[in-house]
Amino acid sequence: MLAMNLTFRQLALSAAFVLGGLALSGSALAQTFNPPPGIDLAGLDPKLKPGDDFFAYANGGWMAKTEIPPDRSTWGTSGELVELTNVRVADLIKSTASAAPGSEARKIGDYYASYLDEGRIEALGLAPLQPALARIAAIKDKSALAAEFGRQLRADVDPLNNTNFQTDHLFGLWVEQDLNHPGHYAPYLLQGGLGMPDRDYYLSDNPHMAADRDAYRAHIAKVLALAGVKESQAEAARIFDLETKIAKAHAPRAESEDVLKANNPWTRASFVTRAPGLDWGAFFNAAGLSGQAKFIVWHPKATAGEAALVASEPLSTWKAYLRFRQLDHYSGLLPKAFADERFAFYSRTLSGVPQQQVRWKRAVAAANEDLGWAVGKLYVAKYFPPQSKAAIDKLVVEMIAAFDARIDKLDWMAPATKVEAKRKLKTLKVGVGYPDRWVDYSTLVVKPGEALANRQRAELFEYRRSLAKLGRPVDRGEWCMTPQTVNAVNLPVRNALNFPAAELQAPDFNPANPAAMNLGATGATIGHEISHSFDDQGAMFDADGRLRNWWTPGDLAHFRASGHALAEQFSAYRPFPDIALNGEQMLGENIADIAGLNAAYDAYRLANGGKEGPAQQGLTGDQQFFLAYSQSWRTKVREATARQRAVTDGHAPAEFRADTVRNMDAWYAAFGVKPGDQLYLAPQDRVRIW
């Protein structure tokens, strides 16, 4: 992706703060951060054969000269765009300090300044958390315990998009369109309660995860000791043993991503018999869900298992667990010793990051999380002009047309299935840049000097905003990613896409680049998100977002067989000798990659009158297309992070995603790939889905 000469040290210096003031404005940084058009030829490694390792061929030069910044777990195009966006956002936030008191802009400024005020945070100590800690200490029985679990429930998970699958609350809530009744929202209840990223971290015999378990026990004890808890080691052992039991009740990651297994409508009354052990009346009353008659339980076995643990485990252990969860959850907003310990375990140990981010970057991330739509409004006004939106809108139209044409050409799909597929494509709701309607923060209270309380109020505001959807018509235009997010998403339940403004920048999309490059990079991203509506999970939803089988039996069998072949292809990849990828866990993303890339290739050819695009930089049009795609994936990842992602992520590592090209005939012709090359697949072994 970004090809540039700006070093991280220069970037860090340019973004230096003096109590929140920028030494260099976002607009000034953008001038130094602007990559030239074209393929980054210096980023290639021409010594390698494209057919042996296409990712390294396209990015080896960049990999050799690039170091991951000390405060990052990964670095690449997305990381560079995130850095640029962070500086721009910080510059925008700086301007809100003088906004009118009580205004949305002033709330951003007060929130940000409070987060930066480490002196006040240090002076307050644990006082901002005392009301919650006192409430936990006062729990006298299991009914009061259930009420506390309900009081802490938050809408902080999204199982279909992996944006935040694991919650550290006992259960997670997701409010979204009903799988079975598209006109209504439904509350989805999901497994939760773990402090580490996934059940495998507690249960796997992998020595790396065993070491992480030891470090987590020490982390729990350290946090408790910082809070003045006596016998912190013994209490940490009890908490860890409880979390291990919770992990044993959890569904594995691959199963969690199977929406057919997740469609479990439960009535409110049935929880008592289906998941005994928890006082569900107290839980739902405290959660503000007492009037809700039906739920969809994503993890029925885990829900029953966790409820049973509430009954079987001592009340004192649960209270210790809740106290630690509060301390750990808010540690970034507690005195420096707590924030440093949070970094030491979650970033240094689990992700391999050697250096904590400076405070202003953490403040920007917090403002984006808690007031993200207000910040996004400022970002769009300055950095996403109407002509940028128009250009991407045009690209989206071209990609949808290319995908529609591919459906027509599928020789294995029956006419009846094609009709349904094309209807779904036609009704796709695409959002580019920013949402049609912004979130109203008028009821959110932000007070200067109350960093932790501001976070608590923001979490509760978002939770209540989610609950308010229940009983209302579904808003298919609602976004789940803010405009300043460097990412994109497909929302299969609503048959909708979000392409945030910050994702739609050079080098992936550059008006100075030919169609081959823009479609190889941004076009493939757009195609990827469109294709999610037709991946192994998305294909289970019809045009209205209803979970319904719209396939003929023969077509569905063919589709699943192709998906199985792609899963086997990726399961053969080993990022480390002791870790193989789980192709089934990553299948949806891999289907979207291959389908999106094929559609982008068709769109690029159509843009050139059905022919190969003109040569440039000594490269043919097809070579430009495939190199732009591979360079869009350039990423370096720390080993600890790569190991974590291999277990928890639904996405394959970037280098294997770039090698998706091995399934396209045109790539073989473009680079002269022959039998004997390591990536070579015989024509009959190349996976062709859409």
Alpha helices in 250-295 (DSSP H): 253-256, 259-262, 271-274, 280-287
CATH architecture of the domain 145-333 equals Orthogonal Bundle (1.10)
Asked if residue 611 has pLDDT above 60, the reply is yes
What's the confidence (pLDDT) of residue 507?
85
For residue 386, what are its two tokens?
């109407």
Please, what is the end-to-end C-alpha distance for the chain in angstroms? 26
Alpha helices in 66-206 (DSSP H): 77-94, 104-116, 118-124, 130-137, 142-152, 200-203
pLDDT digits (tens, 9 = 90+) for 544-586: 999 999 999 999 999 999 999 999 999 999 999 999 999 999 9
What's the confidence (pLDDT) of residue 11?
25
pLDDT digits (tens, 9 = 90+) for 654-668: 999 999 999 999 999
For residue 547, what are its two tokens?
């979970």
Read off the pLDDT of each residue in 516-520 and give the average, rounded to a whole number: 96
Q: Pick left, alpha or beta for residue 545 (phi over 0 → left; psi -120 to 50 → alpha; otherwise beta).
A: left
pLDDT digits (tens, 9 = 90+) for 410-446: 999 999 999 999 999 999 999 999 999 999 999 999 9
pLDDT digits (tens, 9 = 90+) for 480-515: 999 999 999 999 899 999 999 999 888 888 889 999
Asked if residue 17 has pLDDT above 70, the reply is no
What's the confidence (pLDDT) of residue 164?
54
Cα separation, 604 vs 434, whole angstroms:
26
Residues 224 and 234 sit within 8 Å (Cβ to Cβ):
no
Using pLDDT thresholds of 50, 70 and 90, give the confidence band for residue 16.
very low
On the question of a cis peptide bond just before residue 683, with omega within 30 degrees of 0, the verdict is: no
Using pLDDT thresholds of 50, 70 and 90, give the confidence band for residue 133.
very high
Asked if residue 3 has pLDDT above 80, the reply is no
Residues 350 and 644 sit within 8 Å (Cβ to Cβ):
yes
Cα separation, 298 vs 301, whole angstroms:
9
Alpha helices in 427-509 (DSSP H): 451-467
pTM of the predicted model over 0.85: yes
Q: Provide the angle, in degrees to the nearest 10, between the axes of the packed helices 315-329 and 130-137.
A: 170
Asked if residue 1 has pLDDT above 60, the reply is no
Burial-class residue 270 by CB neighbours within 10 Å (0-12, 13-18, 19+).
middle
CA angle 151, 153, 157 (to 5 degrees): 170
Beta strands 496-500; 21-22: pairing state: unpaired
Read off the pLDDT of each residue in 283-301 and give the average, rounded to a whole number: 97
Asked if residue 126 has pLDDT above 60, the reply is yes
- Please state the domain extents for the chain: 8-122+368-377, 145-333, 384-437+475-685
Residues 99 and 105 sit within 8 Å (Cβ to Cβ):
yes
Give the start-end residues of each E strand in 142-210.
171-177, 185-191
What's the confidence (pLDDT) of residue 15?
31
Please name the residues in contact with 230: beta carbons below 8 A apart, sequence gap of 6 or more.
none
Asked if residue 631 has pLDDT above 80, the reply is yes
Q: Tell me whether the CATH fold assigned to 145-333 matches the one assigned to 384-437+475-685.
A: no
What's the confidence (pLDDT) of residue 257?
86
pLDDT digits (tens, 9 = 90+) for 174-218: 999 999 999 999 999 999 999 999 999 999 999 999 999 999 999
Read off the pLDDT of each residue in 361-389 and give the average, rounded to a whole number: 96
For residue 8, what are its two tokens?
């991280």
Asked if residue 324 has pLDDT above 50, the reply is yes
What's the confidence (pLDDT) of residue 252?
92
Return the percentage of the chain with pLDDT > 90, whole number: 87
CATH assignment, 384-437+475-685: 3.40.390.10
Q: What does the chain come to in residues?
A: 690
What's the confidence (pLDDT) of residue 26?
42
